[in-house]
Chain A
Amino acid sequence: MEQTTAGTVAAGSDRSYDMDIVKMFFTATVIWAIVGMLVGVIIALQLAWWPANMGLPWTTFGRLRPLHTNAVIFAFGGNVVFTGMYHSMQRLLKTRMFSDTLSRIHFWGWQLIIVAAAITLPLGLTQSKEYAELIWPIDVAITLVWVVFAINFFGTLAQRKVKHLYVAIWFYMSFVLTIAVLHIVNSLVIPATFLRSYPIYAGLTDALVQWWYGHNAVGFFLTTPFLGLMYYYLPKAADRPIYSYRLSIIHFWALVFLYIWAGPHHLLYSAVPDWAQTLGMVFSIVLLAPSWGGMLNGLLTLRGAWDRVRTDPILKFMVVAVSFYGMSTFEGPMMSIRAVNGLAHYTNWVIGHVHSGALGWVGMISFGMMYWMIQNIWNRPLRHPEWASHHFWLATIGIVIYTVALWAAGLMEGLQWRALNDAGQLANPIFVDITARLQPFMWLRLIGGTMYLVGAVMMAINFWQTIRGPGTPQGEPAAVAAD
């Protein structure tokens, strides 16, 4: 894997690549990260202190929560993946992107979709399916932009100057293909008006299709493309080749095959047929093996470089990211066990689990990649190198506070909902009595989330001042397109 070792790609070759598109996606990533996390902090405040709903239709929790999830998954997560893909693909395949025009249609199309989401969701225009809330005209736009992206992706593969595809490209490919399949199948609706539609599936069939989509949106939007980023940027940052080529083959194929089956674990104890629930549970547990294979492949890549983890913030972000990937891919299978799910389902525990994956894995690997990129693409040293370290600690401690608070809250409400007294009757018959006991944890989670946001704002300011600041003597080679 000659192309995996840092330094074998001559820095000057970036000249013939399209680095402007990388910078565009990079900038969008930083902006949407702040927006998405800020909305998250606002709705966290609403759960701790209900008057923060502000008495307006557009600002209630029910309308802002989809805005938060869509902003962090598709605006922040999407843009950061596109940033890394457009950058690493050109280097791994030793070619410029297939079409600069398609790249720009992809960029502006995606940003317009996000703006449309940010307008429609607070207005209450929604299809109600989690992470697939956007109304049908936006769904059509997503499909068109995705086709543009796919043509650009496969066109670039077709004109590559390197024969063999590196493992990062495999993961990117699974992302491009699977998201297309999931989005189209889950979005099939009959429009009633331009703004409203009804799905072609009904009842539990609709539920099963949605959670096949919903779980694999986590799998193929928030996991496989980010694993692609890990396989490229972790070896780059550590200056070491990936630990095991064979393990990466097993990791890839086992993960993409097994992940798809796990959706029904979102419907345990529902009236969905038992065989489907059991399949979902069993495959979720098996999924632990490839997930940990990937985690080990990432961590062991650092063998011989552990001393640098102590001092290099980029490696710190990446090591914590891969560790959280391992932790949440252990927690997920455990929560898929029917009996555990009986306690965890419907509680804060699920929200804590999601955020250990989203803040811990997706967020931290993204920050690591971005701190590496700002110095390598803009060719400037960080304006405030010590802020990167502060960001790392704010984010890490913030996640710990957040998840521990929600573990405690989730266990507490799960146990109190089900508690029976000696007479066999509910020990806590009044629902809001339990809600009131959760409030301290809601404030703790707000503190953890705010710390994470403050870290991201520090990163944004740092990046802004770095780009505006004086460059290195070589100037800005990457911005100049040679062809």
Chain B
Amino acid sequence: MSNKENSFHRRVFEGKAATFAIVTTVAISIGGLVELTPMFMASSSLSWERSDWITPYTPLEVAGRDIYIREGCYLCHSQMIRPMRAEILRYGEWTRAAEYQYDRPFLLGSRRLGPDLQRVGGKYPDAWHYEHMRDPRATSPGSIMPTYAWLIDDKFDPADIAKSVQALAKVGTPYDATDEASVAALLQSQGGQIVTNLSSAGITAEWDDEIVAMIAYLQRMGVEGRAHLDEGGGR
């Protein structure tokens, strides 16, 4: 260490804070640029993760997804089936990139305190989800999931959902109509269908109940992807 006082590093960097800061910024930028730039380019040329067999979330599904985010569901439930035999047996076809194309934000999750939900859509009737949210142990004995009974009592605001749809349209989600009246009409028609399904199981609900939006989102998960892959797509 005899030459420490005159070392290259000492002369060039340690005495010059600005040089040190600039070179550090360059050093921490390279990895990110190499890994992220191709993603941005691919997304903007619509090549690698866009496909027409996935449609945007409907306003009611957007409302449900917002509730899913609010409650932190993604902290215990992943939405990413890995290409492994046991995963495919348990959850269904592994997840393709295009299935996430309208996911803002992405909700892949990082922990499975509960099962993966990528393809939960269509697996259970609407009434099952209603009961499961009210009391998870009623449908899944031994579950450690909290109860979400307030979803049954609380209502969403259609005007608020319209603002979400408008923001999603602004970042590039292809919606035909984003005005408040059109969004409210779509919410009411899709919500009405779920209310009908629930009433046939003896459950009374209204189209603007939060539970209805939540069921709409859960029931759409992975359905389009599964239909496409069952037909032999993506292979």
Contacts and interface: CB of A to CB of B under 8 A. Distances in A.
A154 B70 contact: no
Interface in A145-165: 154, 157-158, 160, 163-165
B31 A257 contact: yes
A202 B163 contact: no
Contacts of B95: 270-271
Contact of A256 (B24, B78, B140): B24
B72 interface: yes
Interface stretch (B96-104, B185-193, B212-220): B96-104
A115 interface: no
Contacts of B28: 174, 177-178, 181, 220, 256-257, 259-260
Interface string A251-274: 001001111110110110111110
A164 B4 CA distance: 12
Contacts of A329: none
Contacts, number: 252
Nearest to A208: B39
Contact of B111 (A164, A193, A342, A351): A351
B101 A202 contact: yes
A60 B72 contact: yes
A116 interface: no
Interface residues of B, number: 87
B49 A276 contact: no
B24 A177 contact: yes
A426 B149 contact: no
Interface in B15-55: 15, 17, 20-21, 24-25, 27-32, 34-36, 38-40, 42-43, 48-49
B75 to A, nearest CB: 5
A197 B143 CA distance: 32
A413 B11 CA distance: 54
Interface in B65-94: 66, 69-76, 78, 80, 82-87, 89-90, 94
Interface in A51-87: 53, 55, 57, 60-63, 65-66
B170 interface: yes
A128 interface: yes
Interface string A416-459: 01111000011001011101100000000000000000000000
B195 to A, nearest CB: 23
B147 A53 contact: yes
Contacts of A432: 140-144
Contacts of A46: 146
A207 B104 CA distance: 10
A455 to B, nearest CB: 26
A482 interface: no
B100 to A, nearest CB: 3
A61 B49 contact: no
Contacts of A63: 71-72
Given A61-B75, A163-B15, A177-B25, A426 B89 contact: yes
Contacts of A130: 110
Contacts of A144: none
Interface in A95-121: none
Given A426-B86, A432-B143, A207 B43 contact: no
A419 B172 CA distance: 42
A37 B23 CA distance: 37
A431 B114 contact: yes
A1 B5 CA distance: 9
B75 A204 contact: no
A128 B24 contact: no
Nearest to B97: A271
Contacts of B112: 346-347, 413, 417
Which 10 pairs across A and B sit closest by C-beta, in order of nearness?
A62-B72, A203-B100, A260-B31, A192-B167, A53-B146, A124-B70, A261-B31, A271-B97, A418-B86, A269-B82
Interface of B: 1, 4, 9-10, 13-15, 17, 20-21, 24-25, 27-32, 34-36, 38-40, 42-43, 48-49, 66, 69-76, 78, 80, 82-87, 89-90, 94-97, 100-115, 140-150, 160, 163-164, 166-168, 170-172
Given A154-B21, A177-B25, A257-B28, 18 more contacts: A1-B4, A53-B146, A55-B149, A60-B72, A65-B72, A128-B74, A164-B10, A191-B167, A196-B66, A196-B163, A198-B105, A205-B49, A256-B28, A260-B32, A261-B31, A271-B94, A420-B89, A435-B142
27 contacts: A1-B4, A47-B144, A60-B72, A62-B75, A62-B146, A126-B70, A127-B69, A165-B17, A177-B24, A181-B32, A193-B164, A196-B163, A199-B105, A200-B171, A244-B1, A245-B4, A269-B83, A271-B94, A271-B95, A276-B38, A283-B31, A418-B84, A418-B87, A429-B90, A435-B114, A435-B144, A436-B142
